[in-house]
Amino acid sequence: MTGRIHSLESFGTVDGPGIRFVTFLQGCPLRCQYCHNPDTWDAKAPCAYEMTPQELLAETLRYRSFIANGGVTVTGGEPLMQAPFVQEYFRLCTQQGLHTALDTSGIYCTPQALSVLDYTKLVLLDIKTINPHLHPRLTGVAGENPRRFLHELETRHIPTWIRHVVVPGLTDGEADLDALGQFLAGFDTVERVELLPYHTMGTFKYKQSGIPYPLEGVEPLGTQALHRAKQILGQYKEVL
């Protein structure tokens, strides 16, 4: 079994607690309009590494002294596209006493995908929107599975950090933000919400790939709008 890896980060500080060894896997079924990594979409595209779980663990352990108080994070792309690989890597990491975090959209709820949770200590769940009409437009797929995935996390009592990108004209509406807050308030496993302001730093990748950028002309989210979004969500959960 080998994993197709887009890139590795040996000193990650934004994908879970502490300093982390972060693995970005190749492939994603979503086509989020604001995605800043379209180079991770194609699961069959050339990738930087192809490793077995044992080889990835060996690379991880080179940095053990740095990540001792942090851990490992697997992200993407969408890591659950390669669920058996992630499960085995996390199992090996768990044997080594390393904290494991999964950064996912929750778009896969198959038994194979959910088996990864057997060795997952923290989930960073990217909720695009809970508006059922907006989700297909925003991501290209329906939004039922992320809800199901969050219910599974609640059942398993797995600590969860929500990530939500606030996009002007799409996900910054007060009604939708309030609805998201009310929805998340019903889950004890959700420890906090990280609101990510929309930016345009990845647009050059679309030009390089010859892909039309869906949000051409949309300006980055302003500081005041982000502050207001935090106020709304902060009524229900801790917000970063």
pLDDT at 150: 98
Which two structure tokens, joined as six digits, stand for 96? 């080594």
pLDDT of residue 202: 85
**Between vectors from CA 181 to CA 180 and to CA 182, what angle results, nearest 5°?**
95
Residue 50: per-residue pLDDT: 97
In tens, the pLDDT along 42-94 reads: 999 999 999 999 999 999 999 999 999 999 999 999 999 999 999 999 999 99
CATH number given to 3-233: 3.20.20.70
Side by side, the strands of the sheet bearing 3-12 are 49-51, 3-12, 20-25, 71-75, 100-104, 122-126, 160-166, 190-197
DSSP state of 141: S
> Does position 209 have pLDDT exceeding 90, yes or no?
no
How much is the pLDDT for 201? 87
Tokens of 98: 């390393």
Collapsed DSSP state (helix, strand, coil) of residue 230: helix
In which band, very low, low, confident or very high, does the pLDDT at 215 lie, cut at 50, 70 and 90? very high
User: C-alpha 171: how far from its chain's center?
Assistant: 17
Contacts of 124 (CB under 8 A, 6+ apart): 15, 16, 73, 75, 101, 102, 103, 104, 160, 161, 163
101/119 Cα distance (integer angstroms): 9
pLDDT at 95: 98
- pTM reported for the whole predicted model: 0.95
Cis, peptide link before residue 71, omega less than 30° from 0: no
The model's pLDDT over 97-124, given as tens digits with 9 standing for 90+, comes to 999 999 999 999 999 999 999 999 999 9
Q: H helices of the chain, where? A: 53-61, 64-67, 83-95, 111-114, 134-139, 144-156, 174-185, 203-209, 223-233
- Per-domain boundaries in the chain: 3-233
**pLDDT tens sequence across 113-172:** 999 999 999 999 999 999 999 999 999 999 899 999 999 999 999 999 999 999 999 999
- Predicted pLDDT of residue 196: 96
The pLDDT tens digits for 9-37 are 999 999 999 999 999 999 999 999 999 89
What is the structure's pLDDT at 158? 98
